[in-house]
Amino acid sequence: MKAPTSRTYVLVSALALLAGCRTPGTPDRNETPTTRMHYLEVVCRDVEAQCAALEQVHGLSFGLPVADLGQARVARAKDGSLVGVRAPLAEHEQPIIRTYLEVKDIANAMHQAQAAGAVVAYPPTPQGDTGTWAIYFLGDVQFGLWQR
């Protein structure tokens, strides 16, 4: 049996992502897909420099740190999605950009991701008034899910 290739990992990642965002039954090919990014999380060592660059390059406007989001400074994009920039929460946390995709049923989406081979990094976790989030790993790629 051949070892999995990076193409296999990308394909399985895409399938896991789509599994978490689909609705039961036969899809209507005439419908517009409803998958949308809810939150883009930037974990970095220099929050101020990243916020300044994102403001200058993308016209975002970051607010004060939000406790429910790990002290992230958050900006709302024109499409309503959120961009948060925060420092690592622990010494072992590495810088990363993680996309959280919005789902209607986070428990089912995580189950579908696991069925596609993903490993749960953080199970569905309520986060104050912002909703419920979860993170899974598939190979060396991380995805977050968010249910409002």
Question: What's the whole-model pTM score?
Answer: 0.76
Domain assignment of residue 29, yes or no = no
The number of C-alpha atoms within 13 Å of 7 and in the hemisphere containing its C-beta is 1
Which range of residues forms the domain containing residue 121? 6-20+36-147
pLDDT digits (tens, 9 = 90+) for 28-86: 556 666 789 999 999 999 999 999 999 999 999 999 999 999 999 999 999 999 999 99
Domain assignment of residue 101, yes or no = yes
| Domain tally, the chain | 1
Domain assignment of residue 46, yes or no = yes
pLDDT at 31: 63
In this structure, what CATH number is given to the domain that contains residue 80?
Answer: 3.10.180.10
Could you tell me which residues are beta bridge partners of residue 101? 37, 145
Cα 124 to chain centroid distance, Å, stands at 12
| Distance between CA atoms of residues 113 and 136, nearest Å | 8
Domain assignment of residue 12, yes or no = yes
Mean pLDDT of 96-123: 97
Domain assignment of residue 78, yes or no = yes
The DSSP secondary-structure symbol of 53 reads H
Domain assignment of residue 30, yes or no = no
